[in-house]
Structure 1
Amino acid sequence: MKILGISGSLRRDSHNTRLLRAAADLLPSGSELEVWDGLRDVPPFDEDHESDPAPAVQAFRAKVEEADAVFFVTPEYNAGIPGQLKNAVDWLSRPYPDNALKGKPVAAIGASTGLFGAIWAQDQLRKAVQFAGANVLDVELPVGQAHETLDERGLPIDPEQREALAGVLTGLVALAEGAKVG
């Protein structure tokens, strides 16, 4: 089972990217996480180039199409999804309805240094990818005060939150396995 991991943060020392990378340790047996780090290279969405997008967009779409599922980990900026991540989702949503996200199992969680753990961004991201046709795992996992609640690898220090993260990953794999059968 191949899971494509996407961090919504461009920051080098991002809590979300650390959390994403560390989540690989909690995947069910037989699953692997490939972290995609090309978000910075995706140009602004432009309908004039929808049918002939830049090579970075073509490569991104191919990565999503090849994956069995997609796992997003996002920060929250101004009560929403970071602009570059929303832009990338817009590229994935085209051409509609036959796009890279159609039927793709997806989960979205988030971390922030605030108390609420990017809860609004997670919600917006789930709505955006679901509208594009993804099969979205209906679960949220806010990781608040990430600068204090993540260990040196990026995993939640709290055992219950770590267990919840493992549950999200198990749920995503089960959703993807169901998609393969169906």
Structure 2
Amino acid sequence: MKRIDFLREQIIESRNFVNRLISEIPQDLWYTIPQNTDSNFAWQVGHLMISQNFHAITCITGRNTKVAELIPIVDYVKIFNGMGTLHRSVEKNLIPAYELKDQFDAIHEICIDNLSQLNDDILFEQLEPIPFKHPVANNKYEALSWCFKHEMWHSAEMEELKRMLGYPIKWL
């Protein structure tokens, strides 16, 4: 198996895991911030969408016009960026949960399609130009590897949010 295929499969598997979590909580609870937490499902979903676009699309092949047509990237980065932010939740009904989920799925589809067209030759190239130093990656392999690790990190947070909203942990 080529490395790029392995990385793509890991991104798919981590998203499958997150989608299972998402399916276990009603969308009308996405904007609820459980007591003693600082986040909600809507922010987590938006953050993972923006992060996947950054780590697995923008840093790998540059800005994607399909993504730009689908979501207001600059606005969403302001809302869902995680680097150094103190605010990890979003206001109720800022973006309808069903719309956020549709965008989340569409960005993932663009990501997987984009990665399907690449080969291992690109993995140890420098990242595409970005306006700041990448927080963890120095090359494209590291950015793709971080993408699925980061998603799994947030799945743990989402599992805890789900539990605190009264939905028990389920293991497959």
TM-score by length of 2: 0.30
Structure with more of its chain in strand, by fraction: 1
**Which structure ranks higher in relative contact order (CA pairs < 8 Å, sequence separation ≥ 6)?**
2
Structure with more of its chain in helix, by fraction: 2
